[in-house]
Every structure is written in structure tokens, then in C-alpha cells.
Chain A
Amino acid sequence: MITTYREAMRQAIRDAMQRDERVFVMGEDVGAYGGCYAVSKGLMDEFGPERIRDTPLSESGFTGAGIGAAMGGMRPIVEIMTVNFSLLALDQIVNNAATLRHMSGGQFSVPLVIRMATGAGRQLAAQHSHSLEVWYAHVPGLKVLAPATVEDARGMLWTALEDPDPVIIFEHVGLYNDKGELPDDAGAVPIDRAAVRREGSDVTLITYGGNLGKCRTAATRLEAEGISAEVIDLRTLRPLDDETIMDSVRKTHRAVIVDEGWRTCSLASEISARIMEQCLYELEAPVQRVCSLEVPIPYPQHLEQAAIPQPETIVAAAKEVLGR
């Protein structure tokens, strides 16, 4: 069955709601409006306003309420419209959700799932377009997922809901209309491993979420020039699957990390450091990072596109590590 990323995500929510009556969705405009990116469209009619619960504009309040409800035995899915707005809930996520289990000596856990959109490309300017995944990936106590395919959009949510601890799911805004094949019996997928999306032997392109497509495009272009690129989709940003990354780097001896976050203190920085720690002597060239320019994402299309990774910049970085 061909489906969109958005529909796959909606089907995942529907499935979870049907499977477990403790599951409910809470967030701004998830109900009557149909979800700011139309993910939950129609679900309020199906499940009612108690379980598809519109909240006032109060990110800190309803995210905190999600934490409380999770501790109280429910399985909330909190939707925050975009990662920029999640900063209003940062306190609840970092100071409460992430700490409670450890700080209480293991007595309390927070089985909460938070979904939010991320990323640039829609000309929404500097308060709607950032990729702050790494802020959350920095925090012990959280798990951070970034489904990049229709299958992962469909499958990661249930696995996240089964997790006894808080899980954050990042959905890149450029993915919602992506189409893909989904088996009729599609369901939960494991979240503990990165995936090799394309096999190759000359260079490893490491990416996640909205930049997987750009890396695939870059790999195709590189192939035309006789360069064989392997593409790794991290899928889970915390904890990182070092094994899959290192296995690939040991094979290709060259790595390019593609991350829409800003370069400084990025996820790409972390992965680069791990490669250095774990397989420096396997490398034929220094690791390259293709990240966003260190600038608030600008509105006009030519500047926005210039600010974020592109197939051309990925190709150039790959050639650089190959000395071509």
C-alpha cells in the first residue's frame, strides 16, 4: 500500500488508541483544527475530544500535564507544534521528565511520548524552522527518535509508547508529504538500531530525518561519478547506535555527517568525536560535517536553501574526503 508519511503517522496514532485505552493525544489544535500539520485530522471525530484533547496555548502546562498523566498511569502522546515552541516546555522536559526516574531512586517513571515537527524548507523564518534535536539528544533520561521513512513513521510510535521512559519523536516538516510503500501488516519497529539505507564502499554518509532524501540524492550523483556511498539513517538520536556507524566506517574508511542542526555542538560533532574515539586509525581522511550555517534560518528561499545542507554540499564533502 502506498501511503504518505503523514498518513502513516496518523495510522500509528489510531492504532495505538485502539490498542490501549490509556493512550490519548494532547496538544494545540490537534482536534478541531485537525493538527497544525494535519497529522491528527479526523481523529477527534473518531475518538472524541477527551482522547484527542485540544489544549490552550500553554506548552509548559500541557507537557507537564503529560508527565503527570504518564506517572498517573496513562500513556499520553503530547504533540508540540514545532521544536521552536517546545522551548517553552523545555523546563518540564529537561527538569522533570528526564530526571524523575533517576532522582527518585527508580521509584517513578514517565512513560510519555512527545511528538514535534522540526526543520526548515518551508520559508517559515527564524522562529519556526530550526533543528534543535540535539538539545534533547544531550539529555540523559530521554530517548530521541527521528523517523525518516514511512515505515518508521508508522512503526516507531508504538515502540515508543511501550517504553517505560520519556521518548521524543521528531518529524521533519519536509517529510509529511513523502510517499512510500507500507506493507498491509505494518506495525511496530525496533528503535535500537540505525539502518543502512544504501550500501556502498567508498564513503559513509551519516544522517537522519529530513536529510535522508538529500543523502540518497547525493549518493546517486556520486555513483554517476564512480563513487560508491553508503547511507546510514540514524533513526534514533539518543542513544546512538555506535556499532552500525563504526561497522560502516571500518568498511569505507571515510565519513560525512549530514545534520540540519547548526554545526557547533551539533549531533554531527558528537558522532564525529565518537568515530575519532572508536576508529581513528581506520580513517583515510578527516571526518566531514555538512550542517546548517550558523545563522537564524532566514525567510527568503535563496537564503534559506543556502543555510541548510543540500545534495551539492554533501557531494562536495564526499569528494573532499576522497581527495577528488
Chain B
Amino acid sequence: MTPLDRHHAHQLLEQMIRIRRFEEKSAELYSAGKIRGFLHLYIGEEAVSVGVQQSIQPQDSVLATYREHGHALMAGLSAGSIMAEMYGKQEGCSRGRGGSMHLFSAEHRFYGGNAIVAGALPMAVGLALADKMKGREAVTFCFFGEGAVAEGEFHESLNLAALWKLPVAFLCENNGYAMGTALERSESVLDLYKKAESYGITSVAVDGMNVGEVEAQTSKAVEAIRAGQGPRFLEYRTYRFRAHSMFDAQLYRDKAEVEEWQKRDPITLFEDALRRRDLITAAEHDAMEARVAAEIEEAVAFAEAGTWEPVERILDDVHTEAPQ
């Protein structure tokens, strides 16, 4: 492994740790009443967004679900602007109006946090259509959970994207459960990538706990999209370690099952692999944790110091204001 590889591996690890710690802090702040509404944690699934991010370029667009803190961090939104959003402060990335489920950033071409399951897929098709019609060389990255595969919008979107050969990466984060409904209780065919294949889209299932695998497979697929070969579908097999949201009593799964998956924690897996090959020292690891901790502390301070949008401005932006 070259020094460059070593540096890259460290980056992957640090980004996964960053998302993990950011969300652990968010859970804590939820219990403290600082964050309200629905909070959906990505803990256990970090390898997917970190691995995919390696293929995303600045001109590309990203769409995600309500479980999108990790994707937003990867897209370049600052931890502070995300935390402030979750506090509901006007310094937040959506001015505090969206909260955890609705992170947006035009600057980063991050088209949101969508809380309607499968709601983003048709929009992803449209963004890619616009790119194609305008001759922009860009790819639209659309993340969604496997629950979306049962919705009509999923099927309509895949058909359109395939029919029009649009540059979309459909990124299915299959964590085995849609709220409390296990995949085998909701799908007639469990290999979801086969459904995508039926639309003539080259599709693949990927070990979503292995960040290297995610990076490699995604990169291959995205190269094909950039080469003008139309959409690709990737099914990342992963697992959500935490409850669906903070309201979920998890009546639908055994602790033992969660523990079994936790043995394949993407962060531990990767870290162990690096250690075994002497690619990381304890000091380097500690330095990562320290950097991340400092960033999160700063993000929380930023959110705490944030301000409430005055009530008088509540109607701003319902429509585009006429230029003065």
C-alpha cells in the first residue's frame, strides 16, 4: 500500500467515526430536549455514505431521506450548520425550519432530506434529466432505504431513468427493516437489485458494512454512468443498530440479532483491518477521535449560540419574493 493509500484509508475511517460521534451526540441532545421531533440515526450504516462519497464530484447532486445526517456531512455541510438545524435555529442549513429530516444546501447541491418514503426518486430523475438536456456532465446520487422499493414511485422512477438513459445512481440502503417491517415480510423477491435489473438497469448487491467494497463497487458503477451508459442501481446490505426513530420500542427484532450485526460494525471492521496490516497506530487513531470530538464540540457550541427566527418572518419564502 502506498502512502497515498494509507492516507486515503485514514480518511475513510475518520469520516465514519465523524458521522458516528456526531450522531451519538445528537442522541444525547435529543434526550436533553435540545433536538425535537423525529430523529433517525444512521449508526451502523456509515460505510455506505462514506464509501459512496468517494465517487461524488462537486458538480454532482445528492438526494437523501430523513436518515441523512451522514450524507449531509459527507456532502460538505458543516457539522455546525446541521446541528443548528436540528436545534431549530436560524443559523441551521435550512434556517431551522426543517429540522433533522430536512437538511438542505444549495451550495453543496444537497437536495434534501426527504421524509416521504420514495419521494426523492422522481426528483432525482428530473435533476438528471435537466443535466442531460443542458449537457452538464454530472451524476445525480439518490439514496433511499429498501422500504422505498415497494412504493410505486420507485418503479416509475427506475423505468423513466432507464428509458431516458439518465445519469442517476440509485443507492438503496438495505438495512433489513422499514420501521418494524422486516424485508422478508414486505418483499416478494428479497434480492432487490433483481427488481432494478428488470428495468434493464445494471445492478449489484454490495456488502454495505465494508467501506472498501462500497467504494470500489460504487466507483465502478459511477464510471459507467459518467461514460453515458445510463443509470445504475446499487443495493448496499447494511443494518441499523439503533431504533428507527427515538419513539421506537423495537418490538419487532431480537437483541441477539442486533448483537450479531454489531460484530460487523463497519468502523470496527475497517479499523481492525488497518491494524492487522499495520496501517494505523494507536496515536493516529486517538488523533482522529480528538479532531472529531473538537469539531462536534464546536458544532454544539454553534447551535447553542444560534438564534430563533423571529415569528414575523414565518411567511418568508412561501413564495419567491419579488426582487426589490
- In the complex, A306→B308 CA distance in Å? 13
Contact between chains at B102 and A299 (CB < 8 Å): yes
- In the complex, A61→B117 CA distance in Å? 14
Name the prevailing secondary structure of the A interface residues. loop
Residues of B93-116 at the interface with A, using a CB-CB cut-off of 8 Å, are 96-99, 101-102, 114-116
- In the complex, A227→B309 CA distance in Å? 35
Is residue B32 within 8 Å, beta carbon to beta carbon, of the partner chain? no
Is residue A307 within 8 Å, beta carbon to beta carbon, of the partner chain? yes
Query: What is the distance, in angstroms, from A172's C-beta to the closest C-beta of chain B?
Result: 17
Contact between chains at B37 and A124 (CB < 8 Å): yes
Residues of B157-189 at the interface with A, using a CB-CB cut-off of 8 Å, are 178-182, 185-187
Is residue A301 within 8 Å, beta carbon to beta carbon, of the partner chain? yes
- In the complex, A60→B155 CA distance in Å? 13
Query: What is the distance, in angstroms, from B150's C-beta to the closest C-beta of chain A?
Result: 3
Chain A residue with the shortest CB-CB distance to B148: A57
Enumerate chain A residues within 8 angstroms of B314, measured Cβ to Cβ.
293, 295, 298, 303, 306-307
- In the complex, A7→B308 CA distance in Å? 37
Is residue B152 within 8 Å, beta carbon to beta carbon, of the partner chain? yes
A 27-48 binary contact with B (CB < 8 Å = 1; else 0): 0110111101000000000000
- In the complex, A298→B187 CA distance in Å? 34
Task: Pick the residue among B37, B180, B187 that contacts A29 (CB under 8 A).
Answer: B180
Chain B residue with the shortest CB-CB distance to A297: B97
Name the prevailing secondary structure of the B interface residues. loop
Contact between chains at B36 and A301 (CB < 8 Å): yes
Enumerate chain B residues within 8 angstroms of A128, measured Cβ to Cβ.
38, 115
Enumerate chain A residues within 8 angstroms of B119, measured Cβ to Cβ.
127
B: number of interface residues (CB 8 Å): 41
Enumerate chain A residues within 8 angstroms of B102, measured Cβ to Cβ.
125-127, 299
- In the complex, A299→B7 CA distance in Å? 40
Is residue B311 within 8 Å, beta carbon to beta carbon, of the partner chain? yes
Is residue A244 within 8 Å, beta carbon to beta carbon, of the partner chain? no
Task: Pick the residue among A33, A55, A298 that contacts B251 (CB under 8 A).
Answer: A33
Contact between chains at B99 and A295 (CB < 8 Å): no
Chain A residue with the shortest CB-CB distance to B38: A124
Contact between chains at B186 and A32 (CB < 8 Å): no
Is residue A197 within 8 Å, beta carbon to beta carbon, of the partner chain? no
Enumerate chain A residues within 8 angstroms of B181, measured Cβ to Cβ.
28-29, 32-33, 54, 56
- In the complex, A307→B147 CA distance in Å? 32
Chain B residue with the shortest CB-CB distance to A49: B185
Residues of B76-107 at the interface with A, using a CB-CB cut-off of 8 Å, are 88-89, 96-99, 101-102
Is residue B249 within 8 Å, beta carbon to beta carbon, of the partner chain? yes
Chain A residue with the shortest CB-CB distance to B95: A298
Is residue A95 within 8 Å, beta carbon to beta carbon, of the partner chain? no
Task: Pick the residue among B117, B151, B251 that contacts A32 (CB under 8 A).
Answer: B251
Query: What is the distance, in angstroms, from B34's C-beta to the closest C-beta of chain A?
Result: 12
Residues of A137-163 at the interface with B, using a CB-CB cut-off of 8 Å, are none
Is residue B74 within 8 Å, beta carbon to beta carbon, of the partner chain? no
Enumerate chain A residues within 8 angstroms of B305, measured Cβ to Cβ.
none
Contact between chains at A56 and B187 (CB < 8 Å): yes
Given contacts A32-B251, A56-B187, A57-B147, contact A84 B88 (CB under 8 A): no
Contact between chains at B186 and A54 (CB < 8 Å): yes
Task: Pick the residue among A29, A60, A124, A299 that contacts B97 (CB under 8 A).
Answer: A299
B 177-209 binary contact with A (CB < 8 Å = 1; else 0): 011111001110000000000000000000000
Enumerate chain B residues within 8 angstroms of A294, measured Cβ to Cβ.
315, 318
Contact between chains at B98 and A125 (CB < 8 Å): yes
Chain A residue with the shortest CB-CB distance to B251: A34
Residues of A289-305 at the interface with B, using a CB-CB cut-off of 8 Å, are 293-296, 298-303
- In the complex, A184→B207 CA distance in Å? 55
Contact between chains at A125 and B311 (CB < 8 Å): no
Residues of A participating in the B interface, judged by any CB pair closer than 8 Å:
28-29, 31-34, 36, 54-61, 84-85, 88, 122-128, 293-296, 298-303, 306-307
The 9 A-B pairs with the shortest beta carbon distances in the complex, nearest first, are A33-B180, A300-B88, A56-B150, A299-B99, A123-B37, A56-B186, A32-B252, A127-B115, A123-B36
Q: List 14 A-B contacts (CB under 8 A).
A: A29-B181, A31-B180, A32-B252, A34-B251, A57-B148, A88-B152, A124-B38, A125-B98, A125-B99, A126-B98, A127-B101, A127-B102, A296-B318, A303-B88
Residues of B participating in the A interface, judged by any CB pair closer than 8 Å:
36-38, 88-89, 96-99, 101-102, 114-119, 147-148, 150-153, 178-182, 185-187, 248-249, 251-252, 308-309, 311, 314-315, 318
5 more contacts with CB within 8 A, not counting A57-B117, A85-B116, A295-B315, are: A28-B181, A29-B178, A32-B182, A32-B185, A299-B37
